[in-house]
Structure 1
Amino acid sequence: MNRAAVPPGGRVAAFIDLGTNSVRLLIVRLNENGSYTVLTRQKVTVRLGEGEFESGRLQPAAMERTVLACKNLMEAARGFGADETVAVATSATREAENQDEFLALMKEGAGVDLEVISGLEEARLIHLGVASGGDTGGREAIFIDIGGGSTEISVGGHHAPRHRTSLKLGAIRLPALFPPDEDGRIDLETYEAMRAYVLAAVRPALDSFGDIGTDLAFGSSGTIENLAAIAGDRSLLAYTDLCAALRRLYPMSLEERRQIPAINPGRADIIVGGGVILEVLMAGIGLPAIRISDRGVIDGLLVDYLSGFEGFLQGSPVPVRRQSVVHLMRACRADEGHAHQVARLALRLFDTGAASGVHALGEEMRELLEYAALLHDTGKIIAFRNHQHHSRYIVENAGMVGFSRRETLIIGETACFHRKKAPSEKALIAAGLDPAGAKAVRTLSALLRIAENLDRSQLGLVNDAALRGEGEGVVIEVRSQGGCDLEIWGVRDALPAVEKCLGRRVEIRVA
């Protein structure tokens, strides 16, 4: 595929996702170095599908408020200087008998050219979007998105689904078919009827998937996020907790649901419907729990868009964690050549040090060392002075995808201590690390400090480096393609901090 180059100065793109319940806007600036900057994210609840599932038609009031909301979002896009707007519509527009009328109103009243996408395309975009924000560890996963009018399910790796389907089940559609009483309460008979209806609808789809082969699952949509919040964990929803939450919610009046802090009041009337769909799906697939994602169609649109430009990793087979690190490095305009040279040398020191018994850290820490090396200079985007502290702040607060809090802390603290004073175990524990993590950072930061100084001139003069245990001490062996006096001087200057972290005498030898 021919990929376009991002023009000098970058390119601003806007994305609009018009769903049954809400419309979302995402505006980003594509940068020449293969990174992008989010300029704004906005969401407006429009309830476009209100009344449609009873009549088959979009209602005038719903169309009017949707056009107004989209007009305002388009004004925002123009305000940010968008060079292009990609706008899609999903279930409510897709099924409306008066679709053409609505599309004309959107074009005339809001200036939006909407593309109405199929349910399968919606499932693909959701898969791309959610996978771009969740680490699957190289495994296949199940992706479930419960919208207002439809539910999309896909199975596959992080860059492409191998199975996908779209069901005419949604958090707005289901209550329209099984209305509550005038107070918003749902009796047991109605609740069980909803479950039976959903089960009949999902069984053929799940049967068509065959043996899914994984229980790693991601759930997206505001409804799923709210259900997880009710259960008390916004990142993971256990099936047992979901069932308990639904048993509590369905007998409540609408006003009682609105009083629950974890529920968005605008979702109080549809959360049970969405919950029933999720409950039946999790039971049918056999999912003990589902991870929660705040991404969806609009993020898939971004991944698709970026894949058409040179230099972007989004949508590629590159693991999500590495994508996230490289994106942050580029967004902070770090010197990539220097960062990769330091990472290469740091990994050589790690591997040779492990082989000779200098340390006993495993593959997990090796990966985190590489990422710390790639990100160690990101703080220079703020200022060179004390940039190591700025790097730590950026790493620990950038929301890198796919990392636990502990892993993020290890990367950030390792990046911080590539220069100046050596870290104490006490200070690292005070920063939030456990004793084992603090001990690991002391070793990793020593290796990174050596590697950083071995490219002090940033000319890539050092071909190779190794760490050898020799008696009670440690030897750093350096091979270069020519003179590297500045690098050797830098390492010697760093030896006191390195020795403090490794707890051993260290010397350097140049081959």
Structure 2
Amino acid sequence: MRLGLLDIGSNSAQLQIVEAAVGAPPLPVHAIRVPTRLADEVQPDGSLSVAGADRAANAVATAVDAAYRYGVDRLFPFVTAAIRDAENRDVVLDRIVQASGIRPEYLSGDQEARLTYLAVHAWYGWSAGRLLVLDIGGGSMELALGRNTDPDIALSLPLGANRLTRRYLESDPPTSKELKRMRRDVRDTLGDASDRLKWEGDPHVTVGASKTFKQLARLTGSPAQRKGPFVARTLRRDDLHRVIEKLAGMPAQHRSRLPGVSESRARQVLAGAIVADCAMTALDLDSLEISPWALREGIVLRHLSSLADDRDALPLQTLPARSEDGATVTTLPKQI
């Protein structure tokens, strides 16, 4: 089965096409990225401008055309915080329907956290033990902690890199006053969430799962993405401090020349780095691993799991009840 995942975010509409089968990993076939640049179109009241809605709609229409061209069997289009949290969300979704014929779903922050965790857990396996996952997107940050395929704790915070850049970093490069104010508010927002996660005890494995963490790892010396998903990548807090100092001292135009930083993300990468640093500090993390799988893979895995659940279940039976003396009680076993 060929599945298409259409992620409509603040920077782009990204169509990832995978070959998917129950019991097999989702294997990427094609990837199409169409810029949206929605961060530039957020109005003071929190709505997206007409130009932003049109840009999102046209990007989705282009991606849908590609899905037809590449023989996608099923498409799951979804929007994240950039459109989900917009004051005129329904208007934007209606505009997308007009342009493309499809109406995207919008995932809640809790759903994003759980699906990303599912993907990371599948990648690292049961040997990971208690797993802590951090995901920094454009509009929000998700954190999830657990041991099983579904996390025990899933949190979403308004700490997306694009959101914070718009709110705090008006200058380019930003002033020290802007940076201090943003860092203070990020720490305050993380406070209760980090206390709750730390209450559960230290995780065995801590993972960053998002484009932001991949970029930061690349900036601190990890291998490029073209080296493939099986190359180990890590992000160390000491290295991150040096990167933040470097990014803060240069305008966005110069950041886009750094390894792993695209032009569309050059302005927001500094805010993402500061969120990562504050989160790692609050959670007492010296380093974290970088997962090649994240939200989109989690959606595929959830879909495949639902297909597997529809299969005929094995005729499992309960054991016959026994009396205190060990004798079997003669009742028929009940199927479950």
- Is 1:61–2:59 an aligned residue pair? no
* Residue in structure 2 matching 1:192, options 176, 180, 202: 180
Identity of aligned residues (%): 27
**CA distance in 2 between partners of 1:42 and 1:294 (Å):** 18
- 1:168-179 to structure 2, matched below 5 A, reads 168-179=158-169
Deviations 1:80-118 (A, max 9, x none): 322321122111122111111111111110122211121
Query: What does residue 210 of structure 2 align with?
Result: 221
- Is 1:206–2:204 an aligned residue pair? no
Instruction: Give SS of 2:5's match.
Output: strand
Q: CA RMSD in A?
A: 2.2
**CA distance in 2 between partners of 1:178 and 1:36 (Å):** 38
Query: What does residue 250 of structure 2 align with?
Result: 252
Question: Structure 2: 5+ residue runs without aligned partners?
Answer: 224-232, 311-336
**CA distance in 2 between partners of 1:163 and 1:123 (Å):** 9
| 1:217 Cα deviation after fit | 1.2
- 1:19-38 to structure 2, matched below 5 A, reads 19-31=9-21, 37-38=27-28
What TM-score comes out, normalization by structure 2 length? Answer: 0.82
Query: What does residue 324 of structure 2 align with?
Result: none
* Residue in structure 1 matching 2:65, options 69, 75, 81: 75
- Is 1:86–2:76 an aligned residue pair? yes
Contact 2:134 2:143 in 1 (8 A): yes
* Residue in structure 1 matching 2:291, options 274, 290, 293: 293
List 4+ stretches of structure 1 deviating above 6 A.
none
Deviations 1:41-98 (A, max 9, x none): 2333312243427331012222222211111111121123223211221111221111
Instruction: Give SS of 1:247's match.
Output: helix
Query: What does residue 272 of structure 2 align with?
Result: 274
Inter-CA distance 31–132: structure 2 relative to 1 (3 Å threshold): closer
**CA distance in 2 between partners of 1:187 and 1:242 (Å):** 19
Contact 1:63 1:102 in 2 (8 A): yes
Deviations 1:373-423 (A, max 9, x none): xxxxxxxxxxxxxxxxxxxxxxxxxxxxxxxxxxxxxxxxxxxxxxxxxxx
Query: What does residue 34 of structure 2 align with?
Result: 44
Inter-CA distance 255–49: structure 2 relative to 1 (3 Å threshold): closer
Contact 2:130 2:204 in 1 (8 A): no
**CA distance in 2 between partners of 1:307 and 1:258 (Å):** 39
| 1:215 Cα deviation after fit | 5.4
**CA distance in 1 between partners of 2:238 and 2:5 (Å):** 37
Inter-CA distance 28–230: structure 2 relative to 1 (3 Å threshold): closer
| 1:18 Cα deviation after fit | 1.7
Structure 1 counterpart of 2:133, one-letter code: F
- Is 1:17–2:7 an aligned residue pair? yes
Contact 1:215 1:286 in 2 (8 A): no
Instruction: Give SS of 1:193's match.
Output: helix
What TM-score comes out, normalization by structure 1 length? Answer: 0.55
**CA distance in 2 between partners of 1:207 and 1:154 (Å):** 13
Query: What does residue 144 of structure 1 align with?
Result: 134
**CA distance in 2 between partners of 1:69 and 1:225 (Å):** 24
Contact 1:13 1:83 in 2 (8 A): yes
- 1:72-471 to structure 2, matched below 5 A, reads 72-135=62-125, 137-157=127-147, 159-181=149-171, 184-209=172-197, 210-214=199-203, 216-234=205-223, 235-310=233-308
For the pair shown, which has the larger CA radius of gyration, 1 or 2? 1
Instruction: Give SS of 2:123's match.
Output: coil
